[in-house]
Chains A and B, each alone.
Chain A
Amino acid sequence: MAEVTVLAATGNQMVAEAFRQAAPDVVSAYPITPQTAIVENYAKYVADGRVHTEFVPVESEHSALSSCIGASAAGARVATATSSQGLALMYEELHIASGMRLPIVMANANRAISAPINIHGDHSDVMGARDSGWIILFAETAQEAYDNSLIAFRVAEHPQVQLPVLTTLDGFITTHAMERCELLDDTTVADYVGQRQPCHPLLNGPAVGHGMFASLGGTYFEVKKAQRQAIDGAAGPIAAVGKRWAEVCGRSFESIDAFMCEDADYVMVVLGSAAGNARVVARELRAQGIKAGVARVRLYRPFPAEQLVETLKNAKAIAILDRSDSFGAQYGPVGLDTRTALYQCKRHIPTHNYIYGLGGADVTLQALHQVFTELRALAQGNLDQGLSYLGTR
């Protein structure tokens, strides 16, 4: 039986606890706001001898992920954490980690991307990684950051997956705000996470080659196809591993967290920490007899298109909230994903894309009320299906 410790903790603390309990052989990381507390907490576990981890305090995020790649190829369980410019600096290594099919768990404190420089929460950094072949999870709360981080190890190292996982939490809002959290005992978590069984490690086996050269001749193309199949095929293992964690901890794991969507006329699609405010507004509207709902995407890659459309299918109008923009595209990233999913499933429900909260701008209840008001206009054909910046001058 799991022992639960209730504590007040920040998202960063909970990610650090999850990493400690998963007992990686190597943690290689570099400080960056608002992730730094994860690395700091981990360095303290190392200093206190609470973990066997080899801690590599690198000179840049590029070297952080480069050394994680070396360590994962060697057969170690590996974790790191980053944010914003750090994730951007890792760009080429993101693709190499997934292309080499190396399980690595990386926490990202979602933060704005320069310029102008801004240290606060939005999703511009992680959306730069969305096509890099990593599995991507978004946490709403500190508790969920903990849960997702532990699920991430089992997903990454799953024999059918063998891919890196980005487990994200919103900068400051989730990384720094203190919440009531539940920490499971170390033994229960260790049993859940298990041990990594590496495929073709550099150490402890026959000589192998990692990162070989695939020029003309089709091998590169086939490797990429296998990678596509791996991430698409990861949906099953993610659901199974998530369900198992739900059984252990008593909190559910759904790739789409649907709130009052079943009979909702107006649904807001959202990622991460803004979902709480969205639910407050939906509840207020329900009290007024307006059928509002919120669909929060917890698993972002592979994108759970069918589950999302199933959640949205009865809506008359949908607001898709994006905390980053895809400049020059018709919609922001979540907008593009959602619209494609609806089209794919032949659901022609009107949508409007809202870019909100960039650079940590507040997402007020008033602004979210405005979105639901506009959805009623959208359902009646009185609002275009375009894109708006929410709450700006």
Chain B
Amino acid sequence: MASIKELSQTRERLVGGHRLCGGCGASVAVRQVLLGAGADTEVVVASATGCLEVSTTALPYSSWNCSFIHNAFENAAATITGVEAAYQGLKKAGKIAADKEIKFVAFGGDGGTYDIGLQSLSGALERGHDFVYVCYDNGAYMNTGIQRSSATPHYAWATTAEVGTVLAGKPQRRKDLTAIVAAHHIPYVAQASVGNWKDLVEKAERAFATPGPAFINVLAPCPRGWRYDSELTIEVARLAFKTKFWPLYEVRDGVWTMREVRQKDMLPIQEFLRLQGRFKHLFLPENEQLINQLQTEVDANYAAIQRMCAATAPV
């Protein structure tokens, strides 16, 4: 891949002047993913309704340096596959040159992907369109004000998973979307993070280079929703990796590989939780067992991915 210096000089497709919050992980995720499409490739972007869409497309302005379409909340995947189908159909009709390459990418938040858009995504993946779907996972409905989604972590506070006298945040565990996508047996699936830029750009490059559907689930911390200071976004994302909250792995043609956390870098889950106000209640003495439970959950998940890597390794 290109060096960081070369990447920094590459023409960007999501440009400055948008209205996303300072420290927003979503814009970092989108910019890094689009760097992976190659500087000279034509790209069409679709976005689900959400922070990214409302903050980058307020008429009469646009922050997009490429063709862009927003349709609704739950259908970014169906919409981009319609654009991709048009590309295929117009090529067959001779209305687009046979050698003209265009890349198609859809972005959705976790609400638009894990929840309301899951059916649309599943259908699009199963049909085998040539596109990349990127979920920027900030773990709640941030655009409408931090409501819980199926991506919200276990015991995290959200405005619809309140902390009170009888409840300690979200009672349920998160949905494992990346594994659900992997179960579609598409050629490329990855989990990445804005805290590991090189890993993310490399995965984006591979996703764009893969014929057929590709999916990347990018952890994109949200200072407003996670309740931390906005300069800590990258730090929080890195801690998510080092504490095994957010493993970085790929599934390429069914083969699982993980970027393991080095033993000397590995940290207990508290180090990820501590910086974030949404987990503040877990540090009350009576909630110690909840933190222990979260540790057990991330350990088990990490071990499960290790087993998948071992089980699918080429002999």
Q: Which residues of A approach B to under 8 Å, CB–CB?
A: 23-26, 28, 52-54, 56-60, 62-63, 66-76, 78, 92-93, 96, 202-204, 207-215, 219
Q: Is A212 in contact with B57, judged by CB distance below 8 angstroms?
A: yes
CB <8 Å contact, B126 and A59: yes
Say yes or no: A62-B89 contact (C-beta < 8 A), given A70-B46, A70-B69, A213-B58: no
**Which residues of chain A come closer than 8 Å to B78, judged between CB atoms?**
58, 62-63, 66-67, 70
CB-defined contacts of B44 to chain A, threshold 8 Å: 74, 202-203
> Which residues of chain A come closer than 8 Å to B96, judged between CB atoms?
203-204
Task: Please name all residues of chain A whose beta carbon is closer than 8 Å to the beta carbon of B69 when the two chains form the complex.
Answer: 70, 73, 202, 209-211
Within 8 A of A (CB), among B88-125: 88-90, 92-93, 95-96, 102, 119-120, 122-124
Q: How far is the CA of A227 from the CA of B53 in the complex (A)?
A: 23
Give 30 CB contacts A-B under 8 Å.
A25-B90, A26-B85, A28-B85, A52-B93, A54-B86, A58-B127, A59-B119, A60-B120, A63-B119, A66-B75, A67-B82, A68-B82, A69-B79, A71-B85, A71-B89, A74-B90, A76-B86, A76-B90, A92-B72, A203-B44, A204-B96, A207-B68, A209-B64, A211-B70, A212-B70, A213-B57, A213-B58, A213-B70, A215-B58, A219-B59
**Apart from A69-B79, A211-B71, A213-B57, 17 more pairs, CB < 8 Å:** A26-B89, A54-B88, A54-B92, A59-B120, A59-B123, A62-B78, A62-B120, A67-B81, A70-B82, A71-B82, A71-B89, A93-B71, A203-B87, A209-B69, A210-B68, A210-B70, A213-B59
* Chain B 47-85: CB-based contact to A (< 8 A → 1; otherwise 0): 000000110011110101111111110110011111111
Find the A residue at minimum CB distance from B58.
A213
Q: Are B59 and A214 in contact (CB under 8 A)?
A: yes
Set of chain B residues within 8 Å of A213, measured between Cβ atoms: 53-54, 57-59, 70
Smallest CB gap from A70: residue in B:
B82
Chain B residue nearest to A68 (CB atoms) is B82
Please, how many angstroms separate the alpha-carbon atoms of A53 and B86 in the complex?
9
Q: A52-B93, A59-B126, A69-B79 are in contact. Are A219 and B85 (CB under 8 A)?
A: no
Q: Give A105 Cβ to nearest chain B Cβ, in Å.
A: 15
- B79: chain A residues at CB < 8 Å are 66-67, 69-70
Cβ contact within 8 Å between A76 and B89: yes
Asked if B86 and A58 sit within 8 Å, CB to CB, the answer is no
A58, A212, A215 pick with most chain B CB within 10 angstroms = A212
- Residues in B with CB closer than 8 Å to A59 are 119-120, 122-123, 126
Residues of B within 8 A of A25 (CB): 86, 89-90, 92-93, 95
Known A-B contacts A59-B123, A62-B120; the reply to A96 vs B71 at CB < 8 A is yes
In the complex, the 4 A-B pairs of residues with the closest C-beta atoms, listed nearest first? A70-B82, A67-B82, A59-B123, A25-B89
User: In this complex, which of B66, B82, B102 has the most chain A Cβ atoms within 10 angstroms of its Cβ?
Assistant: B82
Q: How far is the CA of A211 from the CA of B53 in the complex (A)?
A: 10
A92: B residues at CB distance < 8 A: 72
- For chain B, the count of residues having a C-beta within 8 Å of the partner chain is 45
Residues of A within 8 A of B126 (CB): 59
Which of A57, A62, A72, A211 has the most B CB atoms < 10 Å from its CB?
A211
Residues of A within 8 Å of B60, CB to CB, are 219
B19's nearest neighbour on chain A, judged by CB, is A213
Q: Given the known inter-chain contacts A25-B90, A54-B92, please indicate yes or no for A71 contacting B83, CB distance below 8 A.
A: yes
- Contact check, B86 vs A75: say whether CB atoms are below 8 A apart: yes
CA A376 to CA B70, docked complex, whole Å: 55
Task: Tell whether, in the assembled complex, residue A62 and residue B75 are in contact, meaning their CB atoms are under 8 Å apart.
Answer: yes
Chain A: which residue is nearest B62 at the CB level? A209
Most buried by A among B75, B88, B92, B102: B75
Contact A66:B59 (CB < 8 A) given known A54-B86, A73-B83:
no
A74-B82 contact, Cβ under 8 Å, with A63-B120, A66-B75, A207-B67 = yes
Whether A54 contacts B85 by the Cβ 8 Å rule is yes
Which residues of chain B come closer than 8 Å to A63, judged between CB atoms?
A: 75, 78, 119-120, 123-124
Per-residue interface assignment for chain B, residues 253 to 289, with 1 indicating a CB less than 8 Å from any chain A CB and 0 otherwise: 0000000000000000000000000000000000000
Tell me which of A23, A76, A219 has the highest count of chain B C-beta atoms within 10 A of its own C-beta.
Answer: A76
Find the A residue at minimum CB distance from B79: A70
- Assembled-state Cα–Cα distance A349/B95 (Å): 55
B89: which A residues are within 8 A, CB to CB?
24-26, 52-54, 71, 76
| Least distance between B37 CB and chain A CB atoms (Å) | 14
**With A and B bound together, what is the CA distance between A76 and B64 in angstroms?**
22
Nearest neighbor of A200 in chain B, beta-carbon distance: B67
Q: Who on chain B is nearest to A220 by CB? A: B59
- Pick from B62, B71, B89 the residue with the most CB of A within 10 Å: B89
